[in-house]
């Protein structure tokens, strides 16, 4: 996983720098999303998986599928990825690009796991607390995880706040075994 990030990061940073310079952040989000959806398509994978398919074939196919939905810079980007044998990291490039875009826009992703579905008021309260804590806009994603037994677990970046019953029980177990 770390190797994939290491390979994808320079491409994501280059795409972000170009998009930022041209004030095309949203446009590049759409174009990268299109590239990933084409790459992930089983028919595309089948077509490029044949041993006789060359990099030129992959470029031509990708550019033909994307057509007018991408601009000249995105076409060059695709050619660069394919020629350097890095086409397989396009999903990670998109993820890192979106992360850079969010940071630039002052948005932080927060993953909230709850033992039970959260009501809108509860989620709003959590988001308000996170906004105060980080002084940024919060983009929450919420999952229900019955293994938590009760409470919530919030992850923002590499910080985790565990206010779940399961977390408390684990803390107690550790304290009792010391």
Residue 130: closest CA among 113, 155, 102, 101? 155
Looking at the fold, whether 87 and 133 belong to one and the same domain comes out as no
Looking at the fold, whether 64 and 31 belong to one and the same domain comes out as yes
Domain-terminating residue out of 102, 130, 162: 102
Range of the domain at 42: 2-102
> What pLDDT, on a 0 to 100 scale, did the predictor assign at position 6?
92
Domain-terminating residue out of 102, 127, 152: 102
Contact 65, 44 (CB under 8 A): yes
Looking at the fold, whether 12 and 57 belong to one and the same domain comes out as yes
Place of tokens 């939905």: 69
Given a cut of 50, the residues of the chain with pLDDT beneath it are: none
CA distances from 11 to 17, 97, 172 (A): 10, 9, 46
Looking at the fold, whether 127 and 152 belong to one and the same domain comes out as yes
Domain-terminating residue out of 81, 102, 123: 102
Looking at the fold, whether 39 and 91 belong to one and the same domain comes out as yes
Sign, Cα dihedral of 130, 138, 96, 13? negative
Instruction: Give how many domains the chain has, as a whole number.
Output: 2
> What pLDDT, on a 0 to 100 scale, did the predictor assign at position 178?
80
Q: 92 has which bridge partners?
A: none
Helix residue ranges, H only, 84-117: 90-104
Structure tokens at 129: 């607390």
Residue 18: closest CA among 119, 113, 93? 93
């Amino acid at each position: 996983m770390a190797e994939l990030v290491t390979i994808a990061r320079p491409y994501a940073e280059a795409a972000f720098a170009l998009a930022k310079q041209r004030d095309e952040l949203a446009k590049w989000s759409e174009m990268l999303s299109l590239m990933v959806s084409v790459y992930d398509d089983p028919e595309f994978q089948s077509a490029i998986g044949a041993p006789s398919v060359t990099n030129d074939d992959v470029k031509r196919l990708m550019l033909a599928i994307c057509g007018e939905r991408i601009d000249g810079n995105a076409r060059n980007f695709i050619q660069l990825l394919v020629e350097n044998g890095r086409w397989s990291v396009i999903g990670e490039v998109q993820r890192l690009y979106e992360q850079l875009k969010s940071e630039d826009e002052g948005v932080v992703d927060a993953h909230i796991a709850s033992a039970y579905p959260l009501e809108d008021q509860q989620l709003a309260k959590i988001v308000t607390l996170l906004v105060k804590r980080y002084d940024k806009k919060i983009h929450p994603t919420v999952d229900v995880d019955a293994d938590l037994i009760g409470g919530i677990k919030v992850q923002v970046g590499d910080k985790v706040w565990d206010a779940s019953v399961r977390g408390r029980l684990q803390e107690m177990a550790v304290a009792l075994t010391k």
